[in-house]
Amino acid sequence: MADSTSDVIVAGCGIGGMAAAVAALQSGAKVTVLERAPHDERGGQTRYTEAYLRMKSEHEVTDDFEAHLAENASGYLDPSLVHATAGPRESWPGIVKSLSFSDPELISTFADSAGPTIQWLKQFGLKFDFLPTQFLTKSQPRLLPVGGGLALIEALGAAAEKAGAKFEYETAATGLIQNSTGQVIGVRATGKGGLMREFSGKAVVLACGGFEGNAEMLTRYMGPRSNFLRPVCRGGYYNKGEGIQMALDIGAAPCGDFGSYHAEPVDPRSGIAEPSVFIFPYGILVNSDGVRFTDEAPGTVDAWYERVTRQIFNQANGIAYVILDARHLEIPNYKLGLRTDQPPIVSNGIRELANRIGVPADALNETVSRYNRACSGGNYTPLVLDGLSTRGISPAKSNWAHRIDRAPFHAYPIISSNVFTFGGLKVDSRARVLNNEGDPIPGLYAAGEIIGSYYRNYTGATSVLKGAVFGRLAGADAATLY
């Protein structure tokens, strides 16, 4: 016998789950929300993020929004299959509907629904503004909710509670229940003390994130080097991947790059949420051998930090060090690029600095000397792409290539955090989970990071927006089933 019966069951309490719950409630559905975390930590990763939104206004996404998503929408696909997407979706073969890529209709729905979703969020008292970000240089604007992701969770959580949603905390969904025709009619869950529970309903919305908190799944999909990753914030540890697994177990189509994740550079010494180090373009990055390994500044930091961070992850033990001289202290508001709460490692000499960070002193001294010889001494302009590049050295540095010769010298260790995993479930533009034949699984929806939509390079400032957009769509559509 089920512990409780609702019209819509939502698994997860981040932005995707909260948007789904509130949208379903607004349509008259009875809603139960299952959340692995206790009440005081509800909200998943949304709770801990500033929640950047890739929008140029409260009504419009950025000019590059759809193009960037499309450029990173898949791996290499058979052109004959992609060609089929030029026609109406109903004419697509099933193999195309279930293909692992972000199809044009999904991207278009995402872009078109972003503005209306922001307006919908505002009805709950949320405000949005173009506030300062961590990026000292950026290529696209970022709209932010005032109060960050926590404000989103608190506002939507209060709205859901006021509308009568039932919350089951410290309760994790672990399996889907189907009837004889295959419709999803509930979930199995594990509650406090390992108690097995069941919740029945007319529809289920999976909004319980990726698998960045599951060491086995990380190793299975990303390999043993995933041991060098850690979630970007405490909320990530609650994401165990059951939502993905339980859907795959009943024939859901996978989507997104299961072998990859959104990378962000963080200070491994820090225990705060998202202790990012975005100041690295103004110095050089060296590995544990004291050697440079990448172009530290190929473009604006907002557009390139993920690709640079992946190079850090590829180094021995997944760690590198940014070496800065005193010039970075003169950059206006340079501390915006440093969210870590740990102090820099400081020295008046390069050899002494090497000893303090634990890299070979001779190697680091030679690396800095070679780099300095490759610097032209041209005009250094830190807040714009200045084109000040190195000459005759590999790897080159494309911007802000000034000599590292002015004491005191600072260093920060950097590792790659796992902000969220890319692999997940295939959905249509109504957020219905599709099976391997390309058909919707009756009664099953997905929202947030459990939707697989990213490949290779993350389209920055779209993850929270994706959760809000598809959570709202999922909740509204799920409510029609009761």
225 and 91 within one domain: yes
Question: Could you tell me the two tokens for 249?
Answer: 């177990």
Q: What is the tens place of the pLDDT at every residue in 320-371?
A: 999 999 999 999 999 999 999 999 999 999 999 999 999 999 999 999 999 9
pLDDT over threshold 90, residue 243: yes
Half-sphere CA count of 430, side-chain side, radius 13 A = 14
Q: What is the tens place of the pLDDT at every residue in 125-138?
A: 999 999 989 999 99
For the chain, the farthest-separated pair of C-alpha atoms sits apart, in whole angstroms, at 75
207 and 109 within one domain: yes
pLDDT at 129: 97
pLDDT at 462: 97
307 and 288 within one domain: yes
pLDDT at 1: 60
242 and 385 within one domain: no
pLDDT over threshold 80, residue 482: no
CATH of the domain at 168: 3.50.50.60
pLDDT at 2: 72
Q: What is the tens place of the pLDDT at every residue in 76-127?
A: 999 999 889 988 888 999 999 999 999 999 999 999 999 999 999 999 999 9
Alpha-carbon gap, residue 445 to 440, rounded angstroms: 9
* Number of domains the chain is built from: 2
What DSSP state is assigned to residue 185?
E
Pick the last residue of a domain from 364, 385, 417.
417
Mean of the pLDDT values across residues 291-305? 97
201 and 113 within one domain: yes
Question: Could you tell me the two tokens for 18?
Answer: 């909260």
pLDDT at 51: 96
Q: What is the tens place of the pLDDT at every residue in 171-213?
A: 999 999 999 999 999 999 999 999 999 999 999 999 999 999 9
133 and 23 within one domain: yes
- pTM comes to 0.96
Percent helix, strand and coil across the chain, each rounded to 5?
35, 20, 40
**Contact status, residue 211 vs residue 449, Cβ threshold 8 Å:** no
Of residues 475, 425, 420, 419, the one with CA closest to residue 450:
425
Q: What is the tens place of the pLDDT at every residue in 448-470?
A: 999 999 999 999 999 999 999 99
Pick the last residue of a domain from 417, 450, 471.
417
300 and 217 within one domain: no
How open is the CA angle 408-411-415, to the nearest 5 degrees?
170
- The residue assigned the tokens 């972000």 is 102
Q: Buried b vs exposed e over 65-99: b needs ≥16 C-beta within 10 Å?
A: bbebbbebbbeeeeeeebebbeeebeebeeebbbb
Mean of the pLDDT values across residues 65-82? 94
Of residues 278, 248, 284, 310, the one with CA closest to residue 374:
284
Of residues 235, 210, 306, the one with CA closest to residue 45:
235
374 and 427 within one domain: no
CATH of the domain at 304: 3.90.700.10
- The residue assigned the tokens 């992701």 is 149
**Contact status, residue 277 vs residue 337, Cβ threshold 8 Å:** yes
326 and 388 within one domain: yes
pLDDT over threshold 80, residue 472: yes
What percent of the chain is predicted at pLDDT more than 70? 100
Mean of the pLDDT values across residues 251-257? 98
Question: Could you tell me the two tokens for 405?
Answer: 């010769």
314 and 291 within one domain: yes
Alpha-carbon gap, residue 461 to 463, rounded angstroms: 6
| Partner residues linked to 420 by β-bridges | 262
Q: Which domain holds residue 387?
A: 263-417
269 and 256 within one domain: no
Alpha-carbon gap, residue 326 to 450, rounded angstroms: 43
439 and 398 within one domain: no
Pick the last residue of a domain from 372, 392, 417.
417
